[in-house]
Amino acid sequence: MPCRGSRWRWGAIEAKRNQGGGLMSHTNKDRKIQYGSGNDFPDSNAEGVLGSARLARIVADALHREFGGTHAAIKMVVGLTQANERAVKNWFLAKNGPDGPHIIMLMRHSNEVLAAVLILAGRKDLLTAKKLVDARKQLELMLRLISDLQK
């Protein structure tokens, strides 16, 4: 027969469970709901604000242009960003966009994402400068190849 103290504690636990709190996990009603609107960013076209859903769509489009839409592309981006595979799938599906550190990693490894973010930031001048530097490197490489062939 249990002692009197344990019966009291058991009764307190049951009462707490019946009130909805305590030892069991929360119901779905208790969980926080993530709203679809998200953060708003200024749009470079001055057409209002750039919502997080639109940002996610733009990043997803850039990812598809750079890497394609295959499972191998998702795996490649997981490897580049060290992000969770489910999160990367959501980026490709435009369900949500990457957070700060991951978008920096994407910009480091993807010219398409870099270009999209620079355009959104209203910094087409930096994009033009990058394209000029890349073209110069290509030209220098071609000139070296021509020089090597002439020897």
Over residues 92-128, the pLDDT tens digits come to 999 999 999 999 999 999 999 999 999 998 999 998 9
pLDDT for res 11:
56
pLDDT for res 81:
95
Beta partners for 46?
none
73 lies in the same domain as 143:
no
115 lies in the same domain as 130:
no
Q: Is residue 17 in a domain? A: no
Range of the domain at 133: 124-151
76 lies in the same domain as 148:
no
pLDDT for res 118:
92
115 lies in the same domain as 145:
no
128 lies in the same domain as 79:
no
pLDDT for res 30:
47
98 lies in the same domain as 113:
yes
- Report d(CA 39, CA 76) in Å as an integer: 28
**Is 50 exceeded by the pLDDT of residue 43?**
no
**Is 90 exceeded by the pLDDT of residue 47?**
no
50 lies in the same domain as 98:
yes
Q: Is residue 97 in a domain? A: yes
Domains in the chain: how many in total?
A: 2
62 lies in the same domain as 93:
yes
**Is 70 exceeded by the pLDDT of residue 5?**
no
pLDDT for res 52:
85
**Is 90 exceeded by the pLDDT of residue 91?**
yes
pLDDT for res 16:
53
Reported as a pLDDT band with limits 50, 70 and 90, residue 33 is: very low
pLDDT for res 49:
67
58 lies in the same domain as 113:
yes
pLDDT for res 73:
95
Q: Is residue 105 in a domain? A: yes
Q: Is residue 51 in a domain? A: yes
Higher per-residue confidence, 117 vs 21: 117
Q: Is residue 100 in a domain? A: yes
Q: Is residue 15 in a domain? A: no
